[in-house]
Amino acid sequence: MSKEEASAFAPVNIALVKYWGKRNEELNLPVTSSLSISLGNYGATTSVKIIDAPVDQVLLDNQFVPNTDSFYTRVVKFLELIRNKFNLGNMRFQVKTHSNLPIAAGLASSASGFAALSLALNKLFAKNLSLEELSKLARRGSGSAARSVYQGFALWQAGQSPDGQDSFAYPINYTWPKLRIGLLIFNATKKATSSTQAMQATTKTCPFYKLWPQIVDEHLQIMLTAIKNHDFITLGSIAETNALYMHSMMQATIPPTIYANEHTLQCIKKIWELRSLGLNIYFTQDAGPNLKLIYLDEDSSLIKQHFAAYQLIEIDVFQGL
> Which residues of the shown chain bind ligand DP6 in the complex (CB under 6 A)?
15, 18-19, 28, 34, 108, 110-111, 142-144, 195-196, 286-287
Are the C-beta atoms of residues 295 and 303 closer than 8 Å to each other? yes
Q: Which is nearer to ligand DP6, 115 or 179 (CB)?
A: 115
* 3-state SS assignment for residue 103: coil
Pick between residue 8 and residue 16 the one whose CB is nearest to ligand DP6.
16
Least distance to ligand DP6 from the beta carbon of 107, Å? 9
Could you tell me if 115 and 156 are in contact, meaning their C-beta atoms sit under 8 angstroms apart? no
Residue nearest to ligand DP6 (CB): 143
For the bound state, the minimum distance from the C-beta of residue 189 to ligand DP6, rounded and expressed in Å, comes to 17
If the CB atoms of residues 100 and 200 are measured against ligand DP6, the closer one turns out to be 200
Q: How far is the CB of 18 from ligand DP6 (least distance, A)?
A: 4
Q: Are the C-beta atoms of residues 292 and 14 closer than 8 Å to each other?
A: yes
> Distance of CA 109 to CAs 17, 20, 269, 271, 307, Å?
18, 17, 27, 25, 24
**DSSP annotation of 210:** G
Backbone angles phi, psi at 294, to 5 degrees: -125, 120
Question: Taking the complex as a whole, how short is the minimal distance between the CB of residue 190 and ligand DP6, in angstroms?
Answer: 13
Total Cβ atoms within 10 A of residue 176: 18
Q: Which is nearer to ligand DP6, 21 or 182 (CB)?
A: 21
Complex with ligand DP6: residue 31 or 179, whichever CB lies closer = 31
Least separation in angstroms between residue 43's CB and ligand DP6 is 14
| β pairing state of 57-60 and 63-64 | antiparallel
